[in-house]
Structure 1
Amino acid sequence: MYSDHITFSSVTRWLKIKHLVLVNSLAKTRNMHTTAQHMNVTQPAISKLLRDLEELLGFALFERQTRNLVLTELGVFVARYARVTLEDTESFVDQVNKLRKGGHGHLKIGTIFAATSVVLPEAIACIKRKRPLLAIEVIEQTSNQLLEMLEQKKLDLIIARFTHDDCQSFEFVPLGPEPFCLVANQAHPLCQLDEVPCEALSEWPWVMYPFNTPIRRRMERAFRLFDIASPTNTVETISMQTFLQLLQSGPMLAMLPESMVQSHVQSGQLRVLRTPFSVESQDYGVITRKDEQVSEPTQSFIDTLLGFASQRRAASGDA
């Protein structure tokens, strides 16, 4: 018989890590036998553990079907909690082991490419001078993927564009604007024009970010705003190296953040096209989980980032 409700005190008395491992494994495998092998127990023991957990919670976590298990609506919520808690526990164990070995913490940073070419390197160099034993891991991805990883506690902070309309889960502190420019290689026929008309842009092949990225969504809005057709001859990628290789290989166009192409324009690899067509700039900044105390090394790194961003704005203003 399932109970009507549970309480925090009751959950803290009986909920164990093995319950979370069970739910997480079953949610992934949908199979009792595979989970039993993973947890190194018998299948009847798995069945009993799941049955006991469901009775204690007061509701079913899985629907038993012929070949597999399917999460119920409440089961999806519990499975997410189990996954996040286990990831947090794994991070805790890793941090404790490093501290016991004399380490000084670990910082996992997610970043978009624009940040790696501007504020991130100097901030890392600065904090490493102060904390040489702080282990820093940098993961480069698109903003929406980084937000997902941050929510899952796979990252301590991210430097990205804020893309969610619902910002209840995150804190965002801007570092600066990210203007865009239209580029091609030096041999592109459009480079011979004093000004490239908007209607000519859709006639050429483009290298573009995928549809689910913030830059691409802004580009599609710009195409509609300037009343030009969205390009159909496209290659989609998030890799800067691929962008550069494709732009150099033929008469292709790309709309990219200025910070990403500045050095390539200066070296002559790329040319910025003069055109009325433009994409609205967007702030990128530091994003953390809301209502969660960040670690001391994380806060120190955030302060360093904000300090360098402030210096850049001041220098730009003086110029």
Structure 2
Amino acid sequence: MAPNLRHLRAFCVVAAHQSISRASEEVFLSQPAITQAIAKMEQALEVDLFTRRSDGVFITDAGKLFLIRAVRAQAFIRTGIGEARRIAQAKNGKGFDNLDQLISGVQVRALIAISKTGNFSLAAKLVGISQPSLYRAARDLERLSGIALFRKSSQGIELTPAAEISARYAKLAFAELRQGYMEIAEYKGIDSGRIVIGTMPLARTYILPTAINRISKARPGVEISVVDGRYEDLLHGLRYSEIDILIGALRSPPPIDDVIEEEVFEDELALIVRANHPLTLKQDITIEELAGYPWITPREGSPTRAMFKEFFAKQGHSLPESLIEASSLILIRGLLMDSDRITILSAHQTRHEQEQGLLVQLPMDLGDTRRPIGLTTRRDWHPTTAQAELVEALRMAGRNLT
């Protein structure tokens, strides 16, 4: 649902003053226009936002719920504008000081669409308007802000650094409103909405399936989407509101200060091989024997890869020569089952295969390989009830592993 930003501001001002006439003076809309704007919002949300009385208009409980999201969304828009001007070092006289009151939802959606596609035509299709209309909206936003937002590149159109930060906060604003729609649905007793979880390999085996099954039983109408990927990609999606929650190995401290981490449990690494691997017949395994077999390791830059390197370095031995980088448990399992390869990963990740007698742990002391596993969320994230329940389900699943 695309928001009308002026209507949204009118709603907030009416709620603050409990008066349409006072709001009219502040947002420069006529009283009939404000009345119509609020009526359209109520129609879209299918709830009454205000109770009308002779002594004023008073916000309803549903209105209070949505007001929190509307205020936060507008704050994100203002922050994005301020950060963009700071990055662009925009001087006084360039652009309008009250830009947050002038920009339209279409202009902001155009900015976001161009950031995703790098092309005016593709962005127009994404927004659902003609290419000339989108181009005009984008250039109007540039003119109003007094900041260069777009530049040509070898691939098409790219955003300037100022536009990138503005687009990020715009995405956060729109995500805030989507959560507002979810909360209104919850208020009406309807399970709806969508929760997006970014996951790294460890959480996929037990924690995430357990938590999803729990929340799906309690809220069958909530759609849950799971996104796999590299930590850097998932973190980017989290910070740009494309992902709600990230679960996996924590970086401790986080690589950037606008996210927070919460440890759910501690994990330890193990050396995993197929059942009947030659090394399973030995009582004492030497570092030379380990290095003589081919290995499967996580990619460079991951915490487990660092521990793998550290293990061989402490033993005073060079790394094995035959390495395959992989993070997919399905691929790792297939490689292990049909070869004498060794891998280093969490024992929790292969718990099902070990219970079935397909994979086993080698009796090798790896030293202290404990690492925190948990949740990463945006510092400014304010979860809906359904999202908060999913977070608690993830915590419970993690506690059951300890």
- TM superposition score normalised by structure 1: 0.80
Judge which range, 18-27 or 6-15, deviates more.
6-15
TM-superposed deviation, 1:242:
0.9
SS of structure 1 residue aligned to 2:98:
helix
In the alignment, the residues of structure 2 paired with residue 67 and residue 252 of structure 1 have an alpha-carbon distance, to the nearest angstrom, of 42
TM-superposed deviation, 1:114:
2.7
Distance 1:292 1:40, change over 3 A: closer
For 2:218, the equivalent position in structure 1 comes to 130
TM-superposed deviation, 1:290:
0.9
Distance 1:27 1:204, change over 3 A: same
TM-superposed deviation, 1:266:
3.5
For 2:381, the equivalent position in structure 1 comes to 292
Gaps of 5+ in 2: 1-89
SS of structure 1 residue aligned to 2:257:
coil
- The alignment status of 1:170 with 2:259, answered yes or no, reads yes
Q: Would the aligned equivalents of 1:195 and 1:273 in 2 still touch at CA under 8 Å? A: no
- The alignment status of 1:260 with 2:349, answered yes or no, reads yes
TM-superposed deviation, 1:227:
2.6
For 2:191, the equivalent position in structure 1 comes to 103
TM-superposed deviation, 1:68:
4.3
Specify the code of the residue in structure 2 equivalent to 1:131. Answer: R
Specify the code of the residue in structure 2 equivalent to 1:148. Answer: H
Give the number of equivalent residue pairs: 311
> Matches of residues 57-96 of structure 1 in structure 2 within 5 Å?
57-64=145-152, 68-85=156-173
Residues 89-125 of structure 1: per-residue CA shift (max 9 Å, x gap): 6676688789889434433333334333333344334
In the alignment, the residues of structure 2 paired with residue 271 and residue 177 of structure 1 have an alpha-carbon distance, to the nearest angstrom, of 21
In the alignment, the residues of structure 2 paired with residue 242 and residue 66 of structure 1 have an alpha-carbon distance, to the nearest angstrom, of 36
SS of structure 1 residue aligned to 2:243:
coil
Judge which range, 74-83 or 290-299, deviates more.
74-83
For 1:118, the equivalent position in structure 2 comes to 206
Distance 1:130 1:83, change over 3 A: closer
In the alignment, the residues of structure 2 paired with residue 131 and residue 33 of structure 1 have an alpha-carbon distance, to the nearest angstrom, of 39
Amino-acid identity (%) = 21
TM-superposed deviation, 1:158:
2.5
For 2:329, the equivalent position in structure 1 comes to 240
For 2:296, the equivalent position in structure 1 comes to 207
SS of structure 1 residue aligned to 2:283:
coil
TM-superposed deviation, 1:254:
0.4
> Matches of residues 20-59 of structure 1 in structure 2 within 5 Å?
20-32=108-120, 35=123, 40-41=129-130, 43=132, 46-59=134-147
For 1:317, the equivalent position in structure 2 comes to none
SS of structure 2 residue aligned to 1:74:
helix
SS of structure 2 residue aligned to 1:242:
helix
In the alignment, the residues of structure 2 paired with residue 68 and residue 183 of structure 1 have an alpha-carbon distance, to the nearest angstrom, of 47
Gaps of 5+ in 1: 314-319
TM-superposed deviation, 1:57:
1.2
- The alignment status of 1:282 with 2:371, answered yes or no, reads yes
Specify the code of the residue in structure 2 equivalent to 1:255. Answer: I
Specify the code of the residue in structure 2 equivalent to 1:205. Answer: P
Q: 1:191 aligns with which of 271, 280, 294?
A: 280
Q: Would the aligned equivalents of 1:185 and 1:269 in 2 still touch at CA under 8 Å? A: yes
SS of structure 2 residue aligned to 1:297:
helix
SS of structure 1 residue aligned to 2:386:
helix
For 1:316, the equivalent position in structure 2 comes to none
Q: Would the aligned equivalents of 2:171 and 2:241 in 1 still touch at CA under 8 Å? A: no
TM-superposed deviation, 1:295:
1.1
- The alignment status of 1:180 with 2:284, answered yes or no, reads no
For 2:318, the equivalent position in structure 1 comes to 229
Q: Which has the higher contact order (CA 8 A, sep 6+)?
A: 1
Specify the code of the residue in structure 2 equivalent to 1:289. Answer: R
TM-superposed deviation, 1:306:
2.9
Judge which range, 8-17 or 294-303, deviates more.
8-17
TM-superposed deviation, 1:309:
4.0
* Higher radius of gyration, 1 or 2: 2
For 1:160, the equivalent position in structure 2 comes to 248
TM-superposed deviation, 1:257:
0.5
